[in-house]
Structure 1
């Protein structure tokens, strides 16, 4: 006997709801609660959903094969391949080259710089994964803002938003588009062509770009003052240079030991040692201190004063500590980095993360996600996604930091990057990588091969031609997104198979009775966008797309138009810093607060709800 028959249907608002639907709704509510609270990471929540749905198969109608279908879904395979293809192109330096050339033309003019950011990010992020694009552009945008005397806060949210708007230009633009295409194929027997989104995507990008250049520019705050990194993090009062006198007990002691003792006993960091024209990192050195050595120390002023008195040192009051004193790329360097979402270091303190031991790094300041600057008591600061750290480390450790998944490094010495790019010219790898990517797009667009197979062929070509190594290819994939996608797909299956999607659609139809179809489409845009801001774009597409299709069928509208409305909405999660990875990447470096995203992104989301709905109605009909 089917278990459902043992449980009576429940009457909800006059509608008989089966036990199957109630169970699926319970799983859905629990999943949404976990997504919003982030009690566990979204990918772990998604995998947990799979386990629960399959375990409750008599209620959910999700078999083991259905539960694992997300891993074999063509969208999942295509997204994996596109991560690798994007990494191959990005590693050739072509994105940096384009950024440097445009930056050279826009130096000193805020309006031209803002227009270049929006105009350049769009075409690139329309095909290449936008996360590495934004990571490459953050240091360039910040340095150019400082040269122009403009707050970086005026430019970094536009950088993130432009990359998100560009995701609507092609099927490859975002993982969300690929997922929606496969769901559309399952529900309607019609997937998206490579450039099927492009006509409306161009309208969305242009309207969004004009908004960012006008209204958005006026709404954006100047949270971070322009200036060098030490000025932006306001660390000068916590840095001092002290002279080792001939009578100091530190003479003859190893620099590394002195640094450890000063941190343990006084809570200050000995950052580096200058001896004549020599310069070395104290914590990484086995040299003995000598009289006339100059130490750079970091700590609160009273602690620095105690250190000076205890060790018979002499503070040099006129020796301001700037980037120039701390940044010596051949020996030591200043590094600015961001804690990404789902970093293994989230929840750790700076002290427990052991950054000093792991990366030979001294953290000079932390800009919390939300704008707060921490320059004292740094060790006890708990790391959160979006936090930006300014640290000094060795040149070798800086290279290692750029490769780790713990952080996203967001600074480079701009002038050196520009010089290096212009000296190297266009490499063979650049031509090969771009050629492979364009070939994949062409083959998929012409229907020669399915998009997943074309993308996998591109991956093979990049590995065979040594554009990217197998290990680099595996490292390029954001596995958190892959597991999130593979885990959330079965929830959409459960909603369809149990009638949950149809039930919600009936409720929507009843609530919107008498409204024009265009208004119903705009409502779905707003609802999807709202959820995308809190439970990730991919999850919102999986949940809302079946409901949108059922609603369209109930009101006599074209279901494909509603599929497109949900797809575009999920790619425009502007209102929170956690709605999209690039929003979180600029959160700390821009010194933004949560309300900055609401103030700038809210009107944009409402504007695009109208513009996108009208554009869909014009191009595809209702």
Structure 2
């Protein structure tokens, strides 16, 4: 027992100190417990095989798909519209929406679904995501108190009541308690988040913040206004011809920016879009959409002759193809060379769309322009080819980060599919008549987002997983086994209840809440509820009181644990994205945890008489 307590205290001290990465601290604690012989090899690795950890990996992928397809942006825009530009209203809406969702699905699933939405919302409204992500995690736990199925500890106390012959709780018996918790949560979290959760940006993040977005680049070079879309129909004269045969540049002074093909299956739910550069040998086919850039009059002239149909105006999309800027260095071999002889297309399959020279933008007759030192070229191509440019540093420097731009380019045509997959996963987790375990539902949904093209590639899906959070939770889970195995948790709980039992039901109720709350900081909330429920039941029977308020104190103490990033998976899920330290959870979560405990000490006896 002593060794376990020493390891626990050192681990907590290291978390608070914050100089060593939390996942590394957790791994050191795990290895220490194993070397001391407290944990067996199977117990030490149990966290890495836990269904909760597996679910977290899958939920990170689902969250990434929601972001990558633009679904998060669409939903966040609705919420921002409801908030009417008011920061307070936005904060309250985030908490309320998350709490309602958390009433019906696991708090881990709730946070994974809401996190990309909140991140997108913060970016659009100009609020730091750190201000909203921790309240998001806490709100998912607060919402778990609204229904019987909201959180596992609720089911634990229900089972305890049934075993002892008491009337079982109904589905919404928890709702009054949950509503009070949510109200307290909003009142406490709003000022604390404003005070403690604003994060200073480091130099690197400030630099990234000033990088041009893809939309800003397109607007700067006036691509949207100078581009039209035409579709090749069955009667078009250019069908089955190559791009070279059209000779557009010489005949009309026009350029084809891209050739796109779109297909729809199952009523438009499954939609595929392919983009390609207009290489000379590219053969045009029926249904292809070509993006032309140049004089509108010459485009009209060509369209009439080629019998192609103009489509509704629409800005450029960045799916397979992207754009970025490169600047020519003073000693570049390209200086003095005509753009036609630069080799961009031949070597990299890249188009040059424009040249920025000092304050002038050159968009016409580019092929004959001689390149000068300091010229900024706007280039277009497949993201993989643009990234190759980034490695060719002798002649130019790529401005911005193409790999980050690629991640930001949403595959919005896949958003309906991502929404259907997400809703199917939620349904499988909510409804008992669907015979699929939650972990299986999550992993299946994550796999489907990859297979149906909601990500650009498999690496993009892997990159959405925050492995630091996964390792943190997986490595800390065996700590609860060590505490239970050595009798530490049982000793703490029994000692406190015995000491407080003679002081009256109110003091005992308060003691049960805070004992449960303390234990949940180090072992899972379900395990804590299983441990404390029989103790609370026995204590209530011994003093001749109703067990209901005492069991509610157990589920509240087990669920309302906010003072530690590893006490619940939701707290860990937002840690990296919010840039939080252990101390941030103490500053915001600990006051909330204490205030709810004090308030419920007096409110529970009013709702459920002693």
Q: Is the 8 A contact 1:359 1:393 kept in 2?
A: no
Alignment partner of 1:289: what SS? coil
1:274 corresponding residue in structure 2: 358
1:555 corresponding residue in structure 2: 539
Alignment partner of 2:358: what SS? strand
- Count matched residues: 433
Distance 1:136 1:457, change over 3 A: closer
Q: Provide, for residues 539-570 of structure 1, a one-character-per-residue CA deviation record: whole Å limited to 9, x for no partner.
A: 57589667745753663476854542333222
Q: CA–CA distance in 2 between the matches of 1:194 and 1:475?
A: 39
Q: Is the 8 A contact 2:516 2:532 kept in 1?
A: no
1:164 corresponding residue in structure 2: 138
1:30 corresponding residue in structure 2: 10
Distance 1:230 1:428, change over 3 A: closer
Distance 1:467 1:169, change over 3 A: farther
Distance 1:116 1:273, change over 3 A: farther
Distance 1:546 1:123, change over 3 A: closer
Q: 1:277-296 alignment to 2 at 5 Å?
A: 277=361, 288-289=372-373
Deviation at 1:429, TM superposition (A): 1.0
Are positions 1:569 and 2:560 aligned together? Answer: yes
Q: CA–CA distance in 2 between the matches of 1:103 and 1:464?
A: 32
Distance 1:26 1:156, change over 3 A: closer
2:430 corresponding residue in structure 1: 442
Q: CA–CA distance in 2 between the matches of 1:543 and 1:28?
A: 17
Q: Which moved more, 1:123-132 or 1:604-613?
A: 123-132
Q: CA–CA distance in 1 between the matches of 2:25 and 2:451?
A: 37
Deviation at 1:131, TM superposition (A): 6.0
Alignment partner of 2:330: what SS? coil
Deviation at 1:99, TM superposition (A): 0.9
Q: CA–CA distance in 2 between the matches of 1:542 and 1:601?
A: 19
Q: CA–CA distance in 2 between the matches of 1:37 and 1:186?
A: 40
Distance 1:33 1:219, change over 3 A: closer
1:348 corresponding residue in structure 2: none
Q: Provide, for residues 260-315 of structure 1, a one-character-per-residue CA deviation record: whole Å limited to 9, x for no partner.
A: xxxxxxxxxxxx97341269xxxxxx96436xx89xxxxxxxxxxxxxxxxxxxxx
Q: Which moved more, 1:593-602 or 1:32-41?
A: 593-602
**Pick from 468, 482, 490: which aligns with 1:502?**
490
Q: Provide, for residues 410-462 of structure 1, a one-character-per-residue CA deviation record: whole Å limited to 9, x for no partner.
A: xx8xxxx9xx99xx68844134223322332234x447344334444444555
Deviation at 1:68, TM superposition (A): 2.8
1:305 corresponding residue in structure 2: none
Q: Is the 8 A contact 1:529 1:572 kept in 2?
A: no
Alignment partner of 2:373: what SS? coil
Q: CA–CA distance in 2 between the matches of 1:183 and 1:50?
A: 28
Q: Is the 8 A contact 2:501 2:508 kept in 1?
A: no
**Pick from 56, 74, 84: which aligns with 2:51?**
74
Alignment partner of 1:277: what SS? strand
Q: CA RMSD in A?
A: 5.9
**Pick from 390, 396, 410: which aligns with 2:402?**
396
Q: Is the 8 A contact 1:88 1:433 kept in 2?
A: no
TM-score normalized with structure 1 length? 0.52
Q: CA–CA distance in 2 between the matches of 1:193 and 1:465?
A: 41
Q: 1:479-494 alignment to 2 at 5 Å?
A: 479-494=467-482
Q: CA–CA distance in 2 between the matches of 1:196 and 1:438?
A: 23
Distance 1:460 1:493, change over 3 A: same
Q: Is the 8 A contact 1:164 1:572 kept in 2?
A: no
Distance 1:614 1:453, change over 3 A: farther
Alignment partner of 2:560: what SS? helix
Q: Is the 8 A contact 1:525 1:566 kept in 2?
A: yes
Q: Provide, for residues 64-99 of structure 1, a one-character-per-residue CA deviation record: whole Å limited to 9, x for no partner.
A: 333333333333333334334444444433222111
Distance 1:483 1:395, change over 3 A: closer
1:261 corresponding residue in structure 2: none
Alignment partner of 1:26: what SS? helix
Deviation at 1:141, TM superposition (A): 3.4
Distance 1:31 1:276, change over 3 A: same
Alignment partner of 2:9: what SS? helix
Are positions 1:103 and 2:80 aligned together? Answer: yes
2:41 corresponding residue in structure 1: 64
Alignment partner of 2:555: what SS? helix
Q: Is the 8 A contact 1:436 1:461 kept in 2?
A: no
Q: 1:299-318 alignment to 2 at 5 Å?
A: none
Q: Where does structure 1 lack aligned partners over 5 or more consecutive residues?
A: 1-20, 146-151, 236-250, 258-271, 280-285, 295-327, 332-356, 361-391, 403-411
Q: CA–CA distance in 2 between the matches of 1:456 and 1:221?
A: 32
Q: Is the 8 A contact 2:130 2:578 kept in 1?
A: yes
Are positions 1:433 and 2:424 aligned together? Answer: no
TM-score normalized with structure 2 length? 0.53
2:22 corresponding residue in structure 1: 42
Alignment partner of 2:475: what SS? helix
Distance 1:93 1:513, change over 3 A: same
Q: Is the 8 A contact 2:143 2:178 kept in 1?
A: yes
Q: CA–CA distance in 2 between the matches of 1:540 and 1:359?
A: 51
Alignment partner of 2:402: what SS? helix
Distance 1:472 1:56, change over 3 A: same
Are positions 1:478 and 2:478 aligned together? Answer: no
Q: 1:168-179 alignment to 2 at 5 Å?
A: 168-170=142-144
Distance 1:399 1:63, change over 3 A: same
Q: Provide, for residues 171-209 of structure 1, a one-character-per-residue CA deviation record: whole Å limited to 9, x for no partner.
A: 999xx967x79999999999x999997764444234323
**Pick from 436, 439, 458: which aligns with 1:452?**
439
Q: CA–CA distance in 2 between the matches of 1:45 and 1:157?
A: 26
Q: CA–CA distance in 2 between the matches of 1:123 and 1:359?
A: 51
Q: Is the 8 A contact 2:497 2:512 kept in 1?
A: no
Q: Which moved more, 1:595-604 or 1:103-112?
A: 595-604
